[in-house]
Structure 1
Amino acid sequence: MTVRRSMVERSVSTAPKPGATMCSPDMDVRARARVPEHSGPSGRRDRRGSPTMTDTATDSDNFDNFDGDRLPPTVAADHQTTLLEYRRARGRQHVRDWYAGLRIKKFPEDLRVFEHVLWSSRTQVVVELGTHLGGSTLWFRDRLRTLVGYGRVPEAIRVISVDLDQSRAAALLGSADPHFARDITLVAGDVTDPGLAERVERLIPSGARCLVVEDTLHEYATTAAALRNFAHLVPDGGYFVVEDGIVDDPDLCPPDMPGGVVPAITDWLAGDQGSAFATRRDLELYGVTSHPHGWLQRVRCRPAP
């Protein structure tokens, strides 16, 4: 695979801010790591039209229905394919992927990092901001069940997933698992409403360790509101993951997306609330991620209520 000079890896500091105390029960923060400069999806065709993704689907195909047997399109890579072309093809592929018959729009590499984070932080409850079609909701629920099976967390697991309208997601989740409501709670609401966070918090079992995942509009206002309203749910050593910061990469951003995710993260980290968190760029482990700058860990212990 050819790598252009602009794609050369660079060193990124991941050390906590001065005076911060690490609170993670299991995962150490590495002082420095090397990650690719560009990472994430794109909805655009390769500039040179390189045929790096093959797909037999047509524009008329409905990707939003339950389909227990469907596979995503194949991405091919050879020695003539540049890294940028490959990343764009992977971006087009990831919005056509499936989990347990439901659409899931996440890179496999990011899902693997989530598995590491869930395990190390002993997450018992996932608060998912942005349900969409329910594929990732089901995936998080199944990962929590695995943690229970290994005795890593108590049995009272739950995914609390938030979106403006949950009717479509509820129907699709019911198609995949008629009993999904046993450990998945769908909440209808707007993340910019501070009262929504209070409703969600009441659903969390006392003492449960939470992971918060923000996957909403991928613009400044909603990202900033999600961080402001939900970060207090993250326990010491836990994580708040802001997804799809790739919208701020001009080489990889899908068309018609305004961006603002990474600036919102940067501004929030500079404030009092964000000063308790560190950006874990070393968790961009596999060279392909849709969430650059988005893996945030609480490194300063929460004040007692």
Structure 2
Amino acid sequence: MTDQESVVLPPHVDDPELLPPGVEAPAEGSLLTYWQDRVGQHVHDSYAGVRLMKFPEDLRMFEHLLWLSRAQVVVELGTHSGGSALWFRDRLRTMAAYGLVPQDIRVISVDLSQKNTHDVLAAADSRYAEHIALLEGDILDQDTSFEVAEHIPQGARCLVVEDSRHAYETTHAALRHYSRFVPADGFFVVEDGLIDSPELCVHIRPPGETGGVVSAVRDWLAGDQGQFFQDRPDLNRYGISCRNMWLRRKSVTTSE
């Protein structure tokens, strides 16, 4: 047994800083009000003590798609605090433990600045850099995608997540520069289409000018690159979500 003083006690569940604010779902309430409250709640959530702004329902769909697409690498555009990078890393490690993907899993997370993220992730896991690469760069600059490519193991299957500024310009640039990393039957996920529905975002104010996510995806799908992808709105399976756009690269054998 270790010395009693060396035992780290678990945090107390009643600490208000450790859990997101609660949301009620009264039977007489409206779905719109519940959805609005959930949008406000999700920006206060966390994973492994690090901020993670994703709906649990969307995380569940990510688990399904990682498993079905056999992704070995997640390319994340928009790091924020780093909680999602940790979450994706842990899901990939679990897949590797099941023998579905090689042990050399990677999360490559890109943002304009990673000034504080290294310290935040190191506090959660001192060995995070073994599988998580934090890159600084502008998604609008195609050269950033070339740097990302240097961190992808040869032949690895990738899932790409666009979760940056949620504006037309960045969404369209992300699709142009990073869709090439998605293999047949793999996925490019554009997050937060709900930004284009102001009635859902009454409890949050995204920084800067946002909006145009849905139109950027539609315009890109109508172009030369987009013809190889299929929009899968049916993958918003859990009703309440951030209205992500799940784009699957068509199989090379499909006639779609």
TM-score of the aligned structures, taking structure 2 as reference length:
0.89
Are the aligned partners of 2:165 and 2:210 in contact in 1 as well (CA < 8 Å)?
no
Picking from 123, 128, 131, the partner of 1:180 is: 128
Picking from 76, 79, 84, the partner of 2:32 is: 84
State the one-letter code of the partner of 2:252. Answer: C
May I ask how many residue pairs the two structures share in their alignment?
235
Are the aligned partners of 1:123 and 1:211 in contact in 2 as well (CA < 8 Å)?
yes
Measured against aligned partners, the alpha-carbon deviations of 1:185-204 in whole angstroms (never above 9, x if no partner) come to 01000000011111101110
Supply the distance in 1 between the matched residues of 2:21 and 2:52 (Cα, whole angstroms).
Answer: 13
Q: Identify unmatched segments of 5+ residues in structure 2.
A: 1-14
Does residue 1:296 correspond to 2:247, yes or no?
yes
Does residue 1:124 correspond to 2:72, yes or no?
yes
Picking from 21, 32, 47, the partner of 1:73 is: 21
Query: Match for residue 211 of structure 2?
Result: 259
More helix by share: 2
Supply the distance in 2 between the matched residues of 1:247 and 1:123 (Cα, whole angstroms).
Answer: 27
1:1-305 to structure 2, matched below 5 A, reads 70-253=18-201, 254-255=204-205, 258-292=210-244, 294-301=245-252
Supply the distance in 2 between the matched residues of 1:105 and 1:131 (Cα, whole angstroms).
Answer: 11
Are the aligned partners of 2:52 and 2:84 in contact in 1 as well (CA < 8 Å)?
yes
Supply the distance in 2 between the matched residues of 1:301 and 1:289 (Cα, whole angstroms).
Answer: 30
Supply the distance in 2 between the matched residues of 1:205 and 1:300 (Cα, whole angstroms).
Answer: 22
Supply the distance in 2 between the matched residues of 1:197 and 1:265 (Cα, whole angstroms).
Answer: 19
Supply the distance in 1 between the matched residues of 2:213 and 2:233 (Cα, whole angstroms).
Answer: 15
Supply the distance in 2 between the matched residues of 1:91 and 1:155 (Cα, whole angstroms).
Answer: 35
Structure with more contact order per residue of length (Cα contacts < 8 Å, sep ≥ 6)? 1
Measured against aligned partners, the alpha-carbon deviations of 1:90-144 in whole angstroms (never above 9, x if no partner) come to 0110000010000000000000000000000000000000001000000000000
Q: Percent identity?
A: 55
Measured against aligned partners, the alpha-carbon deviations of 1:170-191 in whole angstroms (never above 9, x if no partner) come to 1100000001000000100000
